[in-house]
Amino acid sequence: MARAVRTASQLDTGLLIACGILAAVALIMPTWMQEAVATAIRRTVLAPLVSVQQKSEVVRATIVSRDSVQKLSAAAAGLALSAPELSNENEQLRQLIGLGARLGRGFVAAEVLQMGTLDQEFTLTVSAGSNAGVERGTPIVTSEGLVGMVQSVDPTFSIAISWAHPDFGVSAMSVDGAAFGIVKPHLGTGAQRWLLELRGVPFRAALETGALVVSSGLGQGYPRGIPIGTVISEQQTTEKWVRTYILKPAVLPNTPGPVLLLIPSRSPKDVNGVWTTLASSDSAERSIVMAGDSMAKKAALDEIAARRAAGDTISRDSLSADSLGGLPGRGGVPGRPDTTRRNVPRDTTRRPARVDTTRPKPPTGPPPPADQLQPEDTWP
């Protein structure tokens, strides 16, 4: 009995030492080797556990939804079809189907299964892997624009990073091709964390607010013409020969949903015209702004002309009254200038309001609504 206990204790000690050695080796291994080992473990040791977890999730969802399914009726089904969330999901699916039809080839439809965890906030799990032709560096897009890129691939799923990940970067340009640069995440706090930066733009290439920025197709992986974001403002930097712009992202990676993966080896190198809605809306917005400026100028000129005409009429009436008042038989009295009117003194003691520098910055959290994404210097 004592010998068996001693043997079990020695075995436990040996396993502990072996685990410590393996942990130390894993820490000093290079990144690519760590990913290879992790992939091998997921495909072998953890494969049954992943399968069991998926089946248990299906069983749990079935049990939870059984009672509600039994209470539904045909009338409730019609009401469910008009629910806002379902309508939004259907609209997303329709737009994604239209995007796939315009692409024609070179893409894989998938679902974002899980968003980032606490230690990996900007990662995504996608339901397509190497069996479907997905490769490392594959762009992930929606009908609105770029979401991120695939970082590691397994046979049935992939791990990706969104554009908010610190390691993300893509060569970009303006729609008209006048400005080129590199888009990187804006590493701010709170809502600022969900903005983008267009860096390295030549100083002579100025961009207007609202200008659409797309992928340039330079390098490998990203085809030319994927919408990335729109210009909010120019960021002041110490670099005098280049410009940096703050971008509002085209897509906020805040909820799971359907996506398309553009396979680099099969997708076209140029997808200009595929996202026709955003491109047309950008040009339409510019046309509206230009038209609005022209109408405003015309209205201002008409108002000035009307005021001049009214002023000339008043002047003629005043001159007629003054000249008639000096004639015999007319009771008019020539007017005298008002010499008692004094200028109102100016308030020289008023001081400009001081900026409140003690206001804390918003806390970091999930992506805010798209209409609340603004650069920090425009916050109320």
Helices (H), the chain: 2-28, 31-43, 47-71, 74-81, 84-103, 276-325
DSSP assignment of 22-77, as one string? HHHHHHHS-HHHHHHHHHHHHHTTSHHHHHHHHHHHHHHHHHHHHHHHHH--HHHH
User: In the structure, what pLDDT confidence band is assigned to residue 163 with cuts at 50, 70 and 90?
Assistant: very high
The tens digit of pLDDT for each residue in 2-14 reads: 566 667 788 888 8
CA–CA gap between residue 3 and residue 183 (Å, rounded): 66
CA–CA gap between residue 292 and residue 356 (Å, rounded): 36
Q: Which two tokens stand for residue 227?
A: 């919408």
Residue whose structure tokens are 């002023």: 311
The percent of the chain in helix, strand and coil, each rounded to the nearest 5, is 40, 20, 40
Tell me, what's the pLDDT at 366? 58
Neighbours of 162 (CB within 10 A): 26
Per-residue pLDDT averaged across 304-320, rounded?
51
CA dihedral 228, 231, 237, 242 (to 10 degrees): 70
Going 301 to 306 to 312 to 314, the CA torsion angle's sign is: negative
User: In the structure, what pLDDT confidence band is assigned to residue 372 with cuts at 50, 70 and 90?
Assistant: low
Mean pLDDT for the chain overall: 75
User: In DSSP terms, which residues pair with 197 in a beta bridge?
Assistant: 184, 246
CA–CA gap between residue 297 and residue 287 (Å, rounded): 15
> Which of 137-146, 209-218, 367-376 has the weakest average pLDDT?
367-376
Radius of gyration of the chain (CA): 33
CA–CA gap between residue 168 and residue 143 (Å, rounded): 20
HSE, side-chain direction, 13 A CA sphere, residue 242:
12
Q: Which of 37-46, 52-61, 236-245 has the highest mean pLDDT?
A: 236-245
CA–CA gap between residue 157 and residue 297 (Å, rounded): 57
- Cα 262 to Cα 105, 259, 323: the distances in Å are 9, 10, 85
Let me know: does 273 contact 225? Beta carbons within 8 Å. Answer: yes
Q: Which two tokens stand for residue 29?
A: 């291994």
Neighbours of 155 (CB within 10 A): 14
Whether the pLDDT of residue 362 is over 50: the answer is no
Whether the pLDDT of residue 53 is over 90: the answer is no
CA–CA gap between residue 197 and residue 235 (Å, rounded): 9
CA–CA gap between residue 213 and residue 173 (Å, rounded): 6
Residue % of the chain over a pLDDT of 90:
27
CA–CA gap between residue 313 and residue 294 (Å, rounded): 29
Q: Which two tokens stand for residue 342?
A: 């004094």
Question: What length does the chain have?
Answer: 380
